[in-house]
Structures are given as structure tokens and as C-alpha cells.
Structure 1
Amino acid sequence: MIIIIAIALRESIMNLINPLRIKNVDLIHLPENRLRFKFRATTNRDCDAVIKYWTENSKDTLYTDVSKGTSHHTLWIVNTTAPTNYNFQIIAFNNKQKALSKERSFKTMPIYHATPYFNLEYIDNAFKKEINNKFFLTQILTEPGSAVIIDDFGNIVWYEAFKKGVKVSHWTTEKTVLCILGAEKIPSSGGDEIIEIDLSGKVKNHLQVGKGDMDKMVHHEVRKDEQGNIYAITFDEKIFDLSSIGGSKQDTVHGDGIVVFNKDGHKIWEWSMLDHLDPLSDPEIMKRKKDWVHANSVFKQKDGNFLLSFRDLNQIWNIDYKTGRVIWKFGDKGNFEFAPSDHFSSQHSAHITQNNELMILDNGTKNGITRALAFQLDTTNQKAYTKLKISLPREYYTTVKGNVSLFNIDKVLFCVTDPRALFVTDMKGRILWKIQVDGDPYRVEEIHNFLYPKPDFDASRN
């Protein structure tokens, strides 16, 4: 307590004899990204600093992250639209004082590479307030590719361009973007790199096939678990004797697996479906052996076990993390009894919602209707109860890719790839907000904590 009082007293004395001030501000232009701006500010003493900025003729103020406890501050503006004029001001502050720079301006330029157009086609008037200041992450698979964040108007507010395609992207709790990168020639949404970047573009993790422990390409999914480990679906292969059905004694079957890397990039766990299925049980294996069963999403549950979706089986597997055992299979010829009308086909994005329900996008290749489905699973009695079913109109049918998730608990967010659209519906399927995409999106995620909060300057001076 005495030490805290002494520090506060010293700060008060310094504020009197050497008031806090901002000595200089430099804007560093970054030609490789037209929506990102780097600033350096020098203060006469160690303190905290932040930038507030706003568009011309607007009262809506945005803030950067806070640079803390130094006299040499690096600050990033990472949320802008193009082309737009902005004003900004740097605020330096400590426990007792606040100093302001002069107001200055900068201008964003039009984006011209690796980003498509996102057109707001429709928004329900009653939904405008609810979706205001919501942000969404999606990606461009073709080369050059990009990870893209848009706002509720469909404006691009952040992007990161890559020479390779961004096969899938994911927003983490650390405010970073996790991507699979790969050339267009790599099939099945596959890539040979996993990269994690923060909003300033700084690379936090970079895994590459042939370097370190990454010995296989990954595809369709990359995420982080609660421990900060990175997990993904991998391509895998195994030698089988298929001579009894017209193959060779040493025939290669290509399947899928799961891999987990720790924070240091070391492989800590691996699993393969080729250890759990007999290819001789599939009468079409000679036709399918180059891409057998086709996994397309993986999700780590709170108990540590994995949900893995297999498009060609119309099944979702629950895999024990400790043993690798398949605990149950849900779907066609699975372990659960459920309504025949709710059987799904070629599904994507199997995950557990905040309501503890298993949710999927049913692409619906058997009947030409794409649906959002959510189930409550009774694992004791092996029965599944349908809790959500939204059937989309036929013009939104998507044969491949896509995803679905809850939005604000009582609404649903969709990405449908064939119609190239992102939209939100109510629980009856009525469209409330629709973005048309001039590109080929694989998924869309609502992202949280994208905006930096306004610092509590008054509290810091108490």
C-alpha cells in the first residue's frame, strides 16, 4: 500500500513539474494495404496512448488499441472503409493527466486487388438496429486470395491479401485471423500453409508443409481450442490390399484425419479415419479411393472430443480425444434414431451451438433443398430430436461448401456458395439481411470484439 501511494505521489509531482505532452506524430504509409494505417507518437514521459478517429461530418468515434507504459507509441488504425476521409487525434494519458494532439486527417484509397464486391441487397427495417455494428469474416478462395471483414452494410473494413487462395478463415478469441492458404490446384479446399495474423498484419503463427512438424496438407477447417492449440483436417493415405476387388495388393487409399499443433508449432495429436473404416466395405472404393468419404468440418467440443463431418457418408462422428475411439456416428446408418424427414445429405459446418445443440448446414443434395438443422442428442437412448429446421427457397440451394450458425440466439446466419450470398434469417426462414458476393465465399462468421472500446480516461485519473 505504501509503495502504491509513493508511485501515485511521484506521478502527481511529475505532472506538476513536467506536464504530459505529445512531442510528435508520424503517419507511416503502408502501400500493401489500403485500409490499414500505422502511427508512431512520442510523448515526453511514459504513459498510455490511443487514437480516436472518425469520418468527416460524422459523430461516430472509433478507437485503436491502447499503447501502454512507454514514451514511444506504435498505434494501428485497422477498421476503415474506402475511399473515405477521416479525422484523427492522439490522446496520451496517465493517472492524472491527459494530453491531446492536433486534429489531423488521412484518406483511404479504393481497394483494387484480391477483394470482391459485397453488395447489400436487402435489409429489413426492423432488423437495422440489431445488426448495426456487427462484423463478419469471410474469404476469397481464388488466387490471389484474401481474408475479408465486412460490416453490416457490406463495406470491407479490413482485409489481408495473399498470393495463394484463402481456403478457409477463422476468428479467434485473441482477435486474430487464422487461415489455410493454398494454390487453386490443391483440391478439396486444401492448402499447404496455416497462417495466423493479428489485425495489424503481424504474423503470429506460420506453419508450412515440409517445415517443422507439418508433414501433410490441411483442408476445409482450421481452428483454435481453449488452450491455444491449432487444429485442422488433414489429407491422409494408407496402403490396403484391394486385389480381391480389382485393385493391387498395395493400393493407396486417400482419406482424412485430424491434426493438432501446440503454440510452438509442434504436432501433439493426430488421428486418421483410415484406421476406423475398412475400404473393402465400400463397393465403390475403386472409384472413391482418391478422396474417400470427404471430411469437410471439424469442431472441438467442451469435453475435448472432436466432431468430424463426412460429406460422402452423410454422417457426423464424435471422436474421443484421449483414445481416438469413435464414440458415435450421427446420420445415415448411424447410431441415432431421428425423423426420416430430417435426414441430411452432403452436410457442412457441424458444430455445437450455445444452446448445446448439434447444428449443421444440410446442403441437401438428395432433394435439392438446402436447410439449417439443429438437433438435441440423447446419447443414452440414442435418439435425436430436431430443434431447428429452416428450409431455404430453391434459388438458395448450394451443392457444396457453405455454413450456418446462430445469430443473436433467435436468428440464423447463412453462407451459401452457389448463389454467392450471405444472409440472416429469422427462425421461420424469412430473410432479414442479405449480402450478394462477387466472389466465391466458403464460409462466413460473425466476429466479436472487433471494435476497440473507448478507454475510460476518467477512471484512469482517479
Structure 2
Amino acid sequence: MKNKNLKVWLIILGAVVILVVIGFIFFRNVNDVQIESIKLTSPNNSAFFENIQVNLNKPVSISVRYWSDSNSAVKYYTPETSNGFKHTIHLVLLKPATTYQYQVIVHDFFNLSSKIESFHTRSLGSWMIHDWVKKNHPHEAGAIGKGLVMLCYGGTPGYVAMIDSNGKIRWYWQVDSIGVRAATLTPRNTILVLLHNPGLDEINDVPDKSEVEKLNNMNVPLRRGRVGYAGGTSLAEVDLTGKILWRININADSLGYSSIHHDLRMDASHHILTLIRDPLPYNLSGEGGKVKDTLWGDALIRIDTTGKILWKWSPWTSWDFKDDRELNLLSYDRFHLNALWITKDSNYLISSAILNQIWKINAKTGKVMWKFGKSGNFKLDSGSYFYFQHDVNIAPNGDIIMFDNGDYSPFDTTQLKYRFTGLYTNSQYKVSRVLGFRLNERDMTSRCTLNIQLPPKDYSSRMGSAYFLPNNNLLVTSSKTGKVLVMDTTGKILWELDSYFVPYRAEYIPDSVWKDYFRIK
């Protein structure tokens, strides 16, 4: 019995010794962790970003808790880093001219917090202050949800800005000596930007509040110069801290193309889809042209982040030249491809504004799977025809959504419900619409599911965009008037942004993109 009790006591004693040793190591390690230095920097002197650089004496992980003096009840927490001696924490979406308090949290056996420190963000530059959302215009709370509206400026210096529902800039990235023609969110929550050198082509970025001049000059060629209004000579990817991950300066000698235009998307493999000009030497003497002439078209390419072409598709490869009666007339711009989208089955949609059609292209074979629109493969009543459309995309429910500019449309098939006396020299005028279609690819039938006619004052002969928001409202850009609208599906305008420049399009940035940078408690 005594031996048995002795064994029990020895086991207990051994366990206690082990616990003491573990505890000694535990507390020694905890006490050993020290923050050697904390340094704060504002990347590019930005009012929206702050970097916190932390050096430790041990390789452990950290995070940062921070809050503003103006709203201390809301705490922000950055994700926990990997173990290391040196850490850089990126604080994003900060408010300008605001004091923030913060603590560094060291994650070891116990979480240790540094003392509370503070920093003050910079004020906005005068060039960034603009009355984006006017109080006397629609500005319904919650119309755009919790996300931001992204716009880009094509003049110099070019920039990308994200604006909240109150008309405040919350995120900003600037590039000197070159403009930003287009920007889009990628699958890895970065921003893909198309950069344009304004010196190559004249750009008028002042919104045209009246379309009189444009309607009186309908014969002006759609493309201008080597690059064109919607073209670019550089391509870059920018993360949400404002860091450029890579940049391509397009060079025809090394890449085989000299510019890209209109649209760009990143696929799931992180390759880039975009559009290029695709000239074809051709004998147009039979159509009234020259023996040695050139047909100007477009091509869809897939490239890597060095600009190397991995795949190319051109309409010329299957074009019926003999039956094309407008070949010479439109030799300067036969297709005017101006939008692309990746479908759920990993193929591509492209928009041909000249032909008033949407094409589906097989991503592997390059075969045209179908054409939708006037004279296309689907049954479509003439009242649903679209004209010189832009920004074709696919809604969450699978419907095709587009901004129907209405340019070059015949008056007898365009719905003209309004008359706005004195605005146009022609008593019959055009309107832009937001259209949605549900396509049955098996039966080759279509149904118009959305037909919203914009007020005549918001008609845009060029550019424009329309997307569904997560709350089922629509984000619509009337580019030529400088307006970004949020509308419900009945066409009621709930919110309006007034831009001082022509926005090529507006894109929605959901609040979920910031999950890699902070969470709120």
C-alpha cells in the first residue's frame, strides 16, 4: 500500500516538476519578447495610407489594433502576420486629417499589447477636393451599399479614386506624366490599370452637358490617331496599398503590338485579356479603295504580366470579305471592339459597337460560338435592338447587361418617349438605355429582362457603363455628361455623382476587398 502511495506521489511530483519547467520556459519566452522599434511612414505622402514598421527581438507574429479619435467605439484589427523579426503593417482606407490611436499586439503564448501611440493623417491636396455628390441632387443613403465607386482620370497626372456614398474620396492612387484610361478590380483584389499618354492623341475630358455639337458631327471617325481616346500604351497592376506590382510599357518591336484599348480583365490564372488594333493589308480597289490598302480591325489577346502574347483571336480569320458591302466605308474601323467579359463557362464575350452585336468566343479554339444583336443568331424583336453599346457584362443571375448608347440608331426602331425642346437642333433625338437580356443558348432565343431609358439630358453617344450592385440597384455611367447614377430597376435615380471630367466608366468596389487589410469590431 505504501509503495503504491509512493508511486502516486512520485507521479504527482514529476508532473509538478514538468509543469514548473514548462511554466519557466513559458514565462521566460513571454518576458523575452520585446518591441525594439516602431516606425510610421505615409507612402507617397498619402492621406489614405499609413505603414507601421515593427522590429522585434524574437520571430513571432503581430497585428495592430487602431481607432480614430472621432469614433473610438469602432476598433479596426489588421490580420495576424507570419512569424518574423521585421513586420510591416499596411493601414488603408484612412480618413484624411484625422488622428488615430493604435497598439501593436504581439502574438506569443500570451498576447502582449504595446502602449497606445497615435498618428495624424495628412490633409487632402486641393486638387482632390471636389463636390462629387451635390445635396440638391439625388443622394439616397444606402443606394450604393457599403462599397465604393471607382473612377479614373485620363489627364495628367492620372489617377484612380474610390468615392463613398457621401462623395468623399476614400482611396487614391496617382501616376505622374501619364493618364489612366481604364481601371478594373482583379480576382486577387488588386487594380488593373490601362495607362494613356495624352501626348499621343488629343483628349477632351470636359463633360459635354449638351449633345448638340456631337449630334452635328456624327461623321467624325470613331478612332482618333494611333492610340485613340480609349487606348493606352502601358499596363500596370496596383495593390490596395498603392504599390505597383508590375508595369508593362508596350513596345511594338518586342511585344508585337503598340497599344491596347478600351477594356482589360484578369482571368483566374492571373493572365490579362485585352484588345489591340489589328491591321490587315488588303486590296480594296474592287470596293473603291486602293490596291495596297489597309483594313483596320481589332483582336482579342491573352497576355502574361510581361506583356507576352499567349493567345490571340482576330475576327479577320473567319470574316466574309466578299459579302461585306461596307468594307471600304468602314476600313478605318471595321469592328470597333470596345468591351470584353469572361463568362461562367470560361469563354469570352466581346462587344462590336459598329455591328451592334455581342459575340461569344471560345477561349480555346477561337471559334465564334454565336452573335447576339441585330442580324445575329438569336431571335430578337427590333424594339430590343441596341446601338453602339458599351461595357457588356454578365449579372449574377446570368443575364447580359449593357449600356446601350443609342448612337447611329434609326429613329423608327428607337423608343423615343421624351421631347426636350431646345436641347438638340434635331427635333428627333436619341436616348441611351440600360438593357438586360436572358439568352437560351440551346434554343437560340432571347428575352429582354431590363429596359431602362435614361433621361434625355443623360444621353451619352460614347463610352458609358452599367452594372448590377449587390443590393440589386444599378450603377450607371453617362460618360459624356460626367454623371454616375445609381438607379433601381424601375429607372428611378437614387444617387448621382457629378464628375468634373469624362469618366470612361465607373466600377463598384465591394467592402469585402478590404478583408485582407482589416476587420472591424
Aligned equivalent of 2:494: 432
Cα deviation, residue 410, structure 1: 2.3
Cα deviation, residue 129, structure 1: 4.4
**C-alpha separation between the residues in 1 aligned to 2:406 and 2:57?**
64
Cα deviation, residue 394, structure 1: 1.1
Aligned with residue 316 of structure 2, among 254, 274, 281: 274
Report if the CA contact (8 A) 1:135-1:450 is conserved: no
Aligned with residue 380 of structure 2, among 309, 334, 338: 338
Aligned with residue 37 of structure 2, among 18, 21, 24: 24
**C-alpha separation between the residues in 2 aligned to 1:411 and 1:12?**
60
Cα deviation, residue 66, structure 1: 4.2
Cα deviation, residue 80, structure 1: 2.2
Q: Which has the higher strand share?
A: 1
Aligned with residue 232 of structure 1, among 265, 270, 274: 274
- Give the letter for the 1:383 counterpart: T
Q: Does 1:413 align with 2:475?
A: yes
**C-alpha separation between the residues in 2 aligned to 1:12 and 1:307?**
65
> Mind listing any 5+ residue stretches in structure 2 that lack a counterpart?
1-20, 202-226, 415-429
Aligned length: 449
SS at match of 1:252: strand
Structure 1 stretch displaced more, 312-321 or 432-441: 432-441
When residues 244 and 455 of structure 1 are mapped into structure 2, their CA distance, relative to the original with a 3 A threshold, is: closer
Aligned with residue 302 of structure 2, among 254, 260, 278: 260
**C-alpha separation between the residues in 2 aligned to 1:279 and 1:457?**
60
Aligned equivalent of 1:168: 182
Q: Does 1:107 align with 2:169?
A: no
**C-alpha separation between the residues in 1 aligned to 2:499 and 2:182?**
16
Report if the CA contact (8 A) 2:281-2:292 is conserved: yes
Report if the CA contact (8 A) 2:26-2:109 is conserved: no
Report if the CA contact (8 A) 2:265-2:274 is conserved: yes
When residues 453 and 191 of structure 1 are mapped into structure 2, their CA distance, relative to the original with a 3 A threshold, is: closer
Aligned with residue 190 of structure 1, among 224, 231, 241: 231
> Mind listing any 5+ residue stretches in structure 1 that lack a counterpart?
1-8
SS at match of 1:239: strand
| 1:159-211 Cα distance to aligned partner (Å, 9 max, x none) | 21122111110111212110111112130410111100112232223222227
Structure 1 stretch displaced more, 162-171 or 442-451: 442-451
- Give the letter for the 2:104 counterpart: I
Aligned with residue 67 of structure 1, among 68, 76, 81: 81
Taking structure 1 as the reference length, the TM-score comes to 0.89
Cα deviation, residue 11, structure 1: 10
Question: CA-atom RMSD, angstroms?
Answer: 2.8
Cα deviation, residue 363, structure 1: 1.1
Report if the CA contact (8 A) 1:170-1:179 is conserved: yes
When residues 456 and 221 of structure 1 are mapped into structure 2, their CA distance, relative to the original with a 3 A threshold, is: closer
| 1:253-300 Cα distance to aligned partner (Å, 9 max, x none) | 111111101356432101112223345644444343222221110112
Aligned equivalent of 2:249: 208
Aligned equivalent of 1:4: none
1:37-436 alignment runs, 5 A limit:
37-58=50-71, 59-94=73-108, 96-113=110-127, 115=128, 117=130, 119-121=132-134, 128-129=141-142, 131-162=144-175, 163-184=177-198, 185=201, 186-210=227-251, 213=255, 215-262=257-304, 265-278=307-320, 281-365=323-407, 366=409, 367=414, 368-408=430-470, 410-436=472-498
Report if the CA contact (8 A) 1:207-1:214 is conserved: no
When residues 455 and 191 of structure 1 are mapped into structure 2, their CA distance, relative to the original with a 3 A threshold, is: closer
Taking structure 2 as the reference length, the TM-score comes to 0.79
Fraction of identical pairs, as percent: 25
Cα deviation, residue 429, structure 1: 1.0
| 1:334-391 Cα distance to aligned partner (Å, 9 max, x none) | 1111232111111011122110111111112225221111111122222110111211
Report if the CA contact (8 A) 1:196-1:203 is conserved: yes
